[in-house]
Structure formats: structure tokens, C-alpha cells
Structure 1
Amino acid sequence: MTDFLSTPGGYRFALNPIQWFATADGWLDPTKGPTPQELLKEIARSGFHAVHAQVPAGWTIGEYKSALQDAGLKPAPGYLSMALPEHGVEIEAALETARTSAAQQAELGLTDMFIATRMNKDAPRVKRPGVGAEFDEAKFAMIFNLVDRASAILNEEGVKAALHPHIGTWIETETETRRLLDNISANQLGFGPDTGHLSWAGADVIGLIKDYRDRTRVMHVKDCRLQVRDAAKAAGKTYQQTVVSGLWAEPGSGELDLAGMLAALGSDFDGWLIAEVDFPTLPPFECAKASAEWLSKLRRPAH
């Protein structure tokens, strides 16, 4: 495929540039940072050739395509964060957003999209992250129904949904992840793991990837410091307190077995690796550059 790295054995990789939106309190502010055009040029200058696709508010698809072309970037699979009634958004409205988002991705030539549920600062699992706090069967049934219907809608638009477990949301733990994947058709719902969030939740990340590798076409590549995670859990720290304690790290500079996690994808993996550093150790551009350099050196495991 023409958008693979030219180096033999390389992976397709892209950046979700959230480090530019990181705030001092361990959260994200999408209004922070450069203009969309400036940001795309900074991403390309850092060494990435593709970016997590997100059409800025008020832009047409044509305008976004032109901005990507001007920056020398290609679109990579984007992210659907599904609002819930607890966020003041009814299910039908969330599903309509899913359809609109999928149609945009399809128009950009993409065939996969991460899907997750939304979180906010007051969410129970933001206050008590990584432990599956306040699990409730009725709530899980509602989440299951939403994921089932949303992934079906994405399929109708020609885009495969990739379930994305995320700390602070109602899809956080390995158990919740497996229940959803095991009870929704593989033809309808794929898997889009996040190495960092699953590790924060204490999941067997390598085991999950191996078990669902046939459903995995996209993955968020994060690194983290497990000692920070463990100390934060022991102290009962919140999501934000854990983040500002130094949880996240640029790929290859933390404590995760990223090599093992990537190897679990198999030698025939031809999907996308999307780098994310939610709270960078380095300034945003240097963080992106370090991430691109690390990803560019990856090689597929031997058969």
C-alpha cells in the first residue's frame, strides 16, 4: 500500500495531536493550541505523514482535504466520542452524530473509526479511575445497546467501528471490553485498543490483542509509568491527579511492553498505529517528533 512507510517491514502510523491541548490540571482543552492549519503543518514538520482525521467545526470536507494536502498529510482513522443521556444528549441524537461522523470519515477515504463513550470531570470513573467503579448491569445494557446500534450505523456508512476502552468511561475494564466484543458480531464491531488506557485498568493487554487480533485494524500507542499508576491507585487519586503525577510518557520512554503488544498484532497486521501522548513530558512539537522517530523505527515481527 502506498501510504506505508517506505522502510521495509514498517507500519502505517499517524498522530492524534492531543498533546497540544493538554492543560496543567491533567485534562484537555480543544480550544487551546495553534489554529487547525498551523497544527497540521507542525505535525508534518515533526515527521508524521498522517494525522487522526477530525474535521474542524465549521469546515467542509473539501476545506479539510485541502488543508491536509497543503500540509503534506494523509487522513488516518478518527475517533467518535459518544455522548450519553447523563451528558444531556439522548441516544437518538448520539446515533445521528455517529452517522454524520462516519459519513465524514468515509468521504475522506477511511474505512475504520475508533468509538468510545464520553467522559467528563464529574464522572464516577474519573474520580475513581481504572477500577471499574460503580458498575451497573442496567447501565451496561444501555451502553451495549448504544455500541451495537452505533456500530451498525457506521457499517451502513462503509466504516468499521473499533471499540475503544478508555479510562473514565463506562467501557473501561477488560471484562467490559470482552463482553461487548463477544456479544456483538465481529463483522459489525472491531477492536481499537489503547495500550495505555488498558494498562491503567490492569488489563492483560497482550492477551486481549492476541484474542481479538482478527478484529484489530487500529490501535492507539501510548506509554505510561506503571509505578505512577500503582501509587495513584493506592492513594485513591483521581484521573487528573494521576495524569499530573506523571503517568503518561512518550512512546518508548515509559514502562509498558510496547514491543510485546505490537507483536501480538501479528506479522500480517496492516492497520494503523496512532500515537497519543495525553500529557507530554516534552513540549508538544518535541513530543510529536520523538513519537514519530520511535514509530519510524518499528519493524514487524518475523512470521
Structure 2
Amino acid sequence: MTNRIRFGHTAITWDNSDIESAIPAIASCGYWGTETFGWVLEEWEASGRDLPGLMGRHGLQLTSLYCHLDLVDPNVRQEEIGKVLQWVEMYKKFAGPVVIIGGKMVHRPSFSLTDHLADVVATINELAERIADRGLLCCFHPHTGTPVETEEEIHRVMNALDSRYAAFAPDTGQIAKGGSEPLGIIKEYRELIRIVHVKDYIGGPIEHDAQGREIDKTGFLGYTPLGQGSVDIKGILQYLENSGYTGYAHVELDGNQWSPTRKGNPMLPPLEAIQTSKSYLQQLGYSNFKTDIPT
């Protein structure tokens, strides 16, 4: 393996209110950057706290910002786009390059993308162009529970987006949990990928308990540290390396705070979980983690 990819780790493994713990922990492992949500920046700015200073002290870049919005209702499109652009303006203070956009959750059993495809595409395209006008990369991110989850939905939306402005941010674990094969989708849209979430998933169909809650077998919504799930992480990284991928990559593990059945009982504490993923990447031959870590 040629080891061109440098890895960050998203802060989502910690509670959003605990980013002050996430940043030094991620930095201590030698990851190059991190990602958080638009509303996290908004909360820090509203409280007058210095998030850029905190990240700078730990030598960590905010490589990407995740923003989600209503993709299906045209009546709130401008309001939703306006909110995201407010977050983008806050993000510019961090000199980060990538804004990732995804949809808000929908009621999947009754949802039909066919009824909303035109609005989904119009919203993403408009937002992507306006983000590009601000000098930033905009990448669309399919996500379970949102309007774009399945392989068919990913194809329909990606094939309709304006590639002058909208790039692609696949999440290997989300794609697997949505019932699709991540490597095939990554190969299909390789030329549009500018950032990738490298995430493992326990595998198998989603099961529910008597209350209709998703049965979380890991405490991380079914996701696992790298190498402990069913996703072919090695094959995906090998393909990206062989294809000359030079974009960004974030290891990701969804936080225990969202677990419907194992909240307070994750398979590993957050720091141990992200160290486990780093160890797996080192087993694959990656040695390009930071060593000059501020204390």
C-alpha cells in the first residue's frame, strides 16, 4: 500500500457538548484533523468560547464541517440554506476546506424519493453552488434515515447533481448499514469523491425490539472501530490508494449518545475506540500519523 491517505477522525464519537474532550483525544492519537457539526460552531460562538484557539493549541485542523438540512420541502428551502450558509461563514474562521451536506431524517417506511427527487436535487445544487462561490468544497453525504439511504437513491441523486459544484462524501459504514456494498459505490463515483468517512459496521439487517427501537449491538448504532465489523475497509483503502486518491479521509464512529438501546454502555470508551481504529490502520501499513503532538 502506498500510504498517501492521511486520516483525521470525526468528533462525533463524543457527545457534541464534550468537544473539549474530543479534540485533545483525537490529537493525542496523531490524527491530522477532525470534523464537527454546524450547530456546534454556532453554540460555541454564541457562548463566546474560543474553539479555533482550542484546536490550534492541539495542532488539529477542522478539516470538514457537517451541515444537514431539509432536502424535501421547497417551502423551507431558502430558510434551511440560509442557516447552513451561516454555519459556513463561521467555519471560514478555521480555514478548513470542506463542507459536507446531508439531509434531515425522514419517516423511511412512508418515504418515496420519487415524490421528492426534484426538490432534493434542486436544494443540493443551489446550496453547493453557493458554498462553491465562497471558495469551499461542497460534498453531498448520503445517510441512513434520510431521503438518500439506499444504493438506488444514491444513484438517482448523484447522477442528477451538478458536478461543477457538488462533489461526493461517501460513508462506508452508512452505505453498508443502508444495505449496499460500499466499494461498488465508491468505484462508481470515484472521480467525484473529495472526502470519505471510513467507518465499519457490524453487518446484517437492522433488528428492532418490541418498542420498535433499533437494537444496537455495539453501543455505537451498530458501527465498530475499524477492523471489527463487516466492511471491507482494507479493500476500500487499497482501491482508493491504487486509483491515486489524494482527498481527505476521516475515520468515524457514531457516538453512544444516540444509541436507542445501549446508551451508557458502548463496546469501548471513545478514546480506546479511536486508538483501536488507528492500530488497525497501522496494521495495514499506515505510518503517517502525526508525531509532533502539542501537549
Distance 2:163 2:195 in 1: 15
Distance 1:110 1:266 in 2: 23
| AA in 2 matched with 1:124 | H
Gaps spanning 5+ residues in structure 1: where?
Answer: 1-6, 22-29
Moved more, 105-114 or 188-197: 105-114
Match of 1:71 in 2: 58
| CA RMSD in angstroms, aligned pairs only | 3.0
Pick aligned residue for 2:180 from 203, 219, 237: 203
Match of 1:38 in 2: 21
Pick aligned residue for 1:243 from 209, 213, 216: 216
1:207-218 to 2 correspondences below 5 Å: 207-218=184-195
Shift of 1:244: 4.5
| AA in 2 matched with 1:252 | G
Match of 1:118 in 2: 104
Kindly tell me: are residues 142 and 114 of structure 1, through their superposed partners in 2, closer, same or farther at Cα, counting changes over 3 Å? same
Normalised to the residue count of structure 1, the TM-score between the two structures is 0.78
- Whether 1:232 and 2:218 are equivalent positions in the alignment is no
**For 1:206-234, what per-residue CA distance to the aligned partner results, in whole angstroms no more than 9, with x for missing partners?**
121111111111111111121xx32628x
| AA in 2 matched with 1:176 | E
Distance 1:299 1:171 in 2: 34
Normalised to the residue count of structure 2, the TM-score between the two structures is 0.80
Match of 1:271 in 2: 247
- SS at structure 1 position matched to 2:138: strand
- Whether 1:51 and 2:37 are equivalent positions in the alignment is no
Pick aligned residue for 1:295 from 273, 278, 281: 281
Distance 2:107 2:69 in 1: 17
Contact kept? 2:100, 2:139, Cα under 8 Å: yes
Contact kept? 1:13, 1:274, Cα under 8 Å: yes
1:76-225 to 2 correspondences below 5 Å: 76-83=63-70, 90-119=76-105, 123-125=106-108, 134-225=111-202
Shift of 1:281: 2.1
Contact kept? 1:106, 1:158, Cα under 8 Å: no
Distance 2:6 2:127 in 1: 26
Pick aligned residue for 1:13 from 7, 15, 34: 7
- SS at structure 1 position matched to 2:62: strand
Distance 2:146 2:127 in 1: 17
**For 1:71-110, what per-residue CA distance to the aligned partner results, in whole angstroms no more than 9, with x for missing partners?**
2212211211113677xx9211111122223333344222
**For 1:232-253, what per-residue CA distance to the aligned partner results, in whole angstroms no more than 9, with x for missing partners?**
28x8995x51434662111111
Distance 2:44 2:201 in 1: 35
Regions of 4+ moved over 6 Å: none
Alignment length, in residue pairs? 269
Shift of 1:167: 0.4
Distance 1:237 1:270 in 2: 45
Kindly tell me: are residues 159 and 260 of structure 1, through their superposed partners in 2, closer, same or farther at Cα, counting changes over 3 Å? same
**For 1:146-188, what per-residue CA distance to the aligned partner results, in whole angstroms no more than 9, with x for missing partners?**
1111111111111222111100001111112112221222221
| AA in 1 matched with 2:81 | L
Shift of 1:114: 1.5
